[in-house]
Each structure stands twice: as C-alpha cells, then as structure tokens.
C-alpha cells in the first residue's frame, strides 16, 4: 500500500495536478486564480471489440491436417495459421445464418477438389448485424482462392440470386469489425470484396499454385464495398 501511495504521489508530482493522494490539504479555490482546464489524458488507443458471439466450427486435428494439405497444394508450404494482410468481404447467397454455420461446420467436404478442407470464413454476419466468430482470426480458412494464406474472411448473410440486399446493420457491423481487426493486426492493409479478386491478382496478396483454379464472383456487390470504403479509407486501409 505504501509503495502504491508513493507511486501515486510521484505520478501526481509528474502530472502537476491535484490528486486524492496529495499530502497537502486542498485549498479553497482562490478567487483570483482561474482554474486551468486539465489537458485530456493521453491514453493508449483502445481496441474496442464489437459484440461477437462465439460459434466455433469443428476444430480438431483433422481440420489441422486438412489445412496443411490445402496450403501444401496451393502455396507449396504447410500452414495452419496466417499473418493477416487483408480482409475479404463476402455474401453467402443464402438467407440463413444458422444454415451457413451448419454448411461451414464440418472440417471436410469431399465434393471439393485440390484438397478437401471445407469452405469457411472467420466471421459470419447476420442481417441484423449480429457477428458470429467461427474460427480463430489467424486460422487458415478456405474462403477465397488465391487469398486464403493472408486474409481474414467475413461472410454476410444475403445476396440470394445476386440481389444486393445486405443491410445497414450489416454494413455498420462490418465497419466496426474491420476497424477492430485493423487495429489489432497492423499487418492488415487491404480490404476487398470477393468480386475484386481479379484486381487482387495484380498485387502481392495473390498466391495460387494450381493453374486455372478460379471461380468468378460477384459478392458482396459494389454498393456494400463503397459503404465500407467511405468509412474505412480514412483509417489508412486500402481498397481496390
């Protein structure tokens, strides 16, 4: 306690302001000395995390093995974790958050080629803006060809038949989430929509060993990306 008080006294001295630990009795405010407003305290920037619901996918040794297999095939190196450099934004082309969760849940999907690691994103955002976290942020997930080795994936429920119907609540949730991720991982410099993969191919973000392994994409639509860009570009994030 004594140590704590001494420390507090030192802090008070350095700060040069009144403080509860001050040994001197507080003087009544002198009428001739106008009080100087205290300078705002410099605080470490806080990383405020938006509300997130944990909804983990099956995450066993089997998933680890399939991650290593996928990355060996596509990147020539065995990886289970990533250093995130980008966020790739998607829509699910489905209207059910729970349905997408179930679709992503299993580690393996035998119908897939070039590795059978199941598709999955790190986050899944419902139409009401609720954010579900499905895997650790640094897990290697299969959500975007060419970009899985370096990107966090956010899926948004919606986009059935290609209709740009993502909601304002989803936009707000994505902005908060990406802003949080950017501050948590300073290595993140890019945000792109999945449909912008062609432009991503021209950057260092793109890696793909399988020639011709490519699926055309339209998600999550330019309207949603424009909303993200308007809100996040000023934080120093780059858009394609």
Cis preceding linkage at 97, omega within 30: no
Shortest approach of Zn ion to residue 143 CB, angstroms? 7
Interface with Zn ion, residue 122, by CB under 5 A: no
E-strand spans in the chain? 52-54, 86-91, 123-125, 131-133, 151-156, 190-193, 238-239
Provide the token pair at 22. 């001050």
Query: Least distance (Å) from Zn ion to the CB of residue 69?
Result: 22
If one counts every other C-beta atom within 10 angstroms of the C-beta of residue 32, the result is 5
DSSP letter for 108, please.
Answer: B
Q: For residues 73 and 95, give the distance between their C-alpha atoms in angstroms, rounded to a whole number.
A: 32
Q: At 7, which helix (H) or strand (E)? A: helix 2-15
The binder of Zn ion chosen from 151, 219, 237, 240 (CB under 5 A): 219
Spatial distance between the Cα atoms of 159 and 56, rounded to a whole number of angstroms: 24
Q: Which is nearer to Zn ion, 49 or 226 (CB)?
A: 226
Return the range that interacts with Zn ion (CB under 5 A); candidates 30-38, 100-108, 124-132, 212-220.
212-220
Q: Which stretch binds Zn ion (CB under 5 A): 7-15, 159-167, 179-187, 218-226?
A: 218-226
| 176 is a site residue for Zn ion (CB under 5 A) | no
Q: How far is the CB of 18 from Zn ion (least distance, A)?
A: 57
- Applying CB under 5 A, the site for Zn ion has a residue count of 3
Nearer to Zn ion by Cβ, of 107 and 219: the residue is 219
Fill in the per-residue mask, 63 to 102: x = in contact with Zn ion (CB under 5 A), - = not in contact: ---------------------------x------------
How many residues make up the chain in this entry? 240
Region near Zn ion per CB under 5 A, out of 35-43, 66-74, 130-138, 211-219: 211-219
Q: What is the CA radius of gyration of the chain?
A: 24
Contact set for Zn ion, span 180-209 (CB under 5 A): 194
- Binding site residues, Zn ion, CB under 5 A: 90, 194, 219
């Amino acid at each position: 306690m004594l140590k704590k008080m001494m420390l507090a006294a030192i802090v008070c001295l350095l700060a040069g302001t009144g403080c509860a630990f001050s040994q001197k009795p507080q003087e009544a405010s002198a009428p001739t000395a106008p009080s100087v407003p205290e300078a705002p305290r410099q605080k470490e920037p806080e990383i405020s995390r938006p509300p997130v619901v944990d909804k983990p996918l099956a995450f066993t040794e089997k998933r680890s093995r399939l991650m290593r297999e996928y990355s060996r095939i596509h990147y020539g190196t065995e990886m289970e974790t990533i250093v995130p450099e980008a966020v790739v934004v998607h829509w699910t082309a489905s209207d059910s958050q729970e349905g997408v969760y179930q679709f992503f849940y299993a580690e393996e999907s035998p119908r897939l080629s070039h590795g059978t690691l199941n598709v999955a994103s790190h986050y899944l955002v419902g139409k009401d803006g609720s954010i579900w976290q499905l895997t650790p942020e640094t897990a290697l997930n299969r959500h975007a060809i060419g970009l899985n080795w370096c990107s966090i994936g956010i899926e948004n429920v919606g986009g059935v038949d290609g209709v740009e119907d993502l909601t304002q609540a989803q936009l707000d949730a994505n902005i908060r989430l990406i802003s949080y991720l950017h501050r948590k991982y300073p290595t993140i410099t890019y945000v792109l929509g999945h449909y912008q993969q062609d432009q991503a191919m021209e950057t260092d973000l793109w890696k793909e060993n399988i020639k011709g392994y490519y699926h055309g994409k339209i998600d999550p639509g330019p309207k949603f990306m424009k909303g993200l860009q308007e809100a996040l570009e000023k934080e120093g994030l780059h858009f394609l």
